[in-house]
Structure 1
């Protein structure tokens, strides 16, 4: 073959682009999809992940689009040339955040009244936009879950014989409280509603209130489960709808089964879980449904339920590196809203590089005037805070409270000043320098630590 005819094989990576439309947009999705595809592929290189700019100059996009996100991918590179990309553009218009529907247990006139057994919301939902990116874990849990869904759809589309290759469409997330298990389930449901929009015209998330599935009337609890899953089956009957069912705190169900099995007769709790397991076995044949479950007490979960889970994922407390990213996202948010004097917060990779320089003898004990050295100082300060938080085993929920505690208790913006003066100082003058915020967060960590120590005594 002549040299000029030789071709070099190029690895091509699937890259997903999510395009959020504004509430009043009336443009056709396929039109927006085509325009965004052309816009992104017009660049020499594509950052992963990134938020591209410049589309606002195109009238067709500026009138309908709110934001364009190039999402994370299992690619080892931070950017790719257009020749290395297989682009998938997903256009969506989120539903109003208040679009929730409730299912009651419909007690049939008994005097214990009706209890809400589940809530349903339309997806994508405005309330959970951005939730996926706010969840930060040490490994690739998020991509792992997306790959799992893709695998089940691939097998279903191929009509693989369930008697030979079986899966249950059940995922169990377990770990300490405050690690974002429930938030991750909601974020995954939101993400799937966007990624699968080419297959399903709409999606729903149904959250089950586990405690409501028990009735004080003997033999009624199993009927409550049956009625609930009848409603779920009605949703799934729509073949163009994707349904995610979330069973939060699933141990409250399975612990009741374990206690019942220790007695001499089956109790109503045993009937509940047996009914639940039976319904799960029926749902596994429907490819437009996913069952997500969470637990803080995995040892209390019955083995029959665990055996049905395709993925059993431990969600641990955040590592030092994950804590840095969480604190960085908090600080970037309050900077973007004008509450903190503008500052550039280095990425985790930059912070790790700065740590190496510091260990080599560089001294950054106080904030320098040079912009580059200021970034090094901020990175090292936040890394120090991350180490303190990790030593105290702080959860993601507790970490995201730190800016609030710093503002309310340590930045002098409380009841000591008139309300209008506080607002003027914060919103007009830019409030505090970021170093003051870091000092306040450090004090908040110490107070949180002291409070936990007193609680344990």
Structure 2
């Protein structure tokens, strides 16, 4: 069993690279108050895994019978197992290569980065130290239909590998820019934050900590419109100061990037003010300057890709569409919500729900074992068209609107869930239909 943590450059590509599919990721959250050595934590975690050599899905331990783990560790999570379960029913930890990532969470919330303009303070960005407690678990709870998350991790791996191997960027170009685009409510911003959090954990052997700077695009491009180009430059000067710390991973998030990258063709045609041109030019110049630093990633989102300047689009290495969830993704979202409600005893007694893979093995035939899971599948199917943001609220609304008793049975709650979905579509129609 390989327990080597990624503490050197030659180990780094294994995090998500060509050997990623054969590697089990184990994320160990060490208590902030703990001063235990990483080697000691690894030893006790390995003993825990040896006592539980087979798992059937991602699994997290938060309660321990080991005194050392009780004192020093918040949780041990075996993650990203789904790809290993395609052709098998279980993951054999004893005969797998393990990558252990030991990290501590920063409990403080975001700080505010301010810029001075005309003797006034402008809130220009929010600034987190990573990994942050408020983002813990966010990555695992984002559900997509394809390999979006693993592709993003693979992109970061290649970025690091090319930098480590001194690939000449004049021969092969990459810009460290990711653009996630799609309709509102599909989780683009959450995915950017979750990616920054995940990178700070997976690269904890390389960087002492991560930092996430979320730029407030609207602030930079509103009150002092004629000064927006200068404000963007000031903001990136602050970011440059952070990048200079080589022991820190810097993730820059520009949400609704079209606010800063409005197409220059519109400006030249006279439909947009000329200051928009200066802002775009400044932003592109700053991206070109910081892309040579190996410890920075720029994450951007957009709801209106048609308004983005093509020079910025061209600089994005990955342009990933994030669309509304499919029925399969919705099923997973609902399933995780119901599991959470059963864990909290809001739904009681606990009953087993099968995932889609297990239902598929039963050919989706109705039985006492599969009945409730098939009902959930039907609810997920008719929920298509709702945004991811709305879907996460459906279980809450179901309880608030229709549950008459506490705790509630799973059978009753599924009925309430179905009614809530129907109601949500009716409410949406009111806003869509002309008055």
User: Could you tell which deviates more after superposition, 71-80 or 59-68?
Assistant: 71-80
2:75 to 48, 53, 67: 67
Match of residue 6 from structure 2: none
What residue is the counterpart of 2:257 in the other structure?
Answer: 250
Q: Identify which of 261, 268, 271 aligns with 2:278.
A: 271
Q: 1:12 to 1:382 in 2, by over 3 A?
A: closer
Are 1:222 and 2:222 matched, yes or no?
Answer: no
Q: Does the alignment pair 1:377 with 2:368?
A: no
- Show the counterpart of 1:89: 100
- 1:127 and 1:286 map into 2 onto residues whose CA distance is 28
User: Counterparts of 2:141 and 2:214 in 1: how far apart (Å)?
Assistant: 21
Alpha-carbon distance in structure 2 between the residues aligned to 1:188 and 1:28: 27
2:313 corresponds to 1:306: yes
Distance 1:131 1:265 in 2: 38
Q: CA shift at 1:128, angstroms?
A: 0.8
The aligned runs of 1:2-401 (5 Å cut-off) are 13-41=22-50, 44-45=53-54, 47=56, 49-51=58-60, 56-72=64-80, 74-75=83-84, 76=86, 77=88, 79-82=90-93, 84-96=95-107, 98-109=108-119, 113-214=120-221, 216-217=223-224, 219-255=226-262, 257-263=264-270, 267-341=274-348, 342-354=350-362, 356-358=364-366, 373=368, 375-390=369-384, 393-401=385-393
Kindly indicate whether the alpha-carbon contact (under 8 Å) linking 1:171 and 1:291 is maintained by their aligned counterparts in 2: yes
Equivalent position SS for 2:373: helix
Under a length normalisation based on structure 2, what TM-score does the superposition of the two structures give? 0.89
The number of equivalent residue pairs is 411
Aligned CA distance change for structure 1 residues 354 and 80 (closer, same or farther; 3 Å):
closer
Shift of 1:91: 0.8
Distance 1:456 1:160, change over 3 A: same
The question of whether the paired residues in 2 share the 8 Å contact of 1:354 and 1:380 is answered with: no
Distance 1:224 1:11 in 2: 41
Supply the RMSD in Å over aligned alpha carbons.
2.3
**Kept in 1: contact 2:263–2:309 (CA 8 A):** no
TM-score by length of 1: 0.85
Q: 2-side partners of 1:277 and 1:245: how far apart?
A: 14
Unmatched segments (≥5 aa) in structure 1: 1-9, 359-363, 365-372, 413-424
Contact 1:351 1:383 survives alignment (8 Å): no
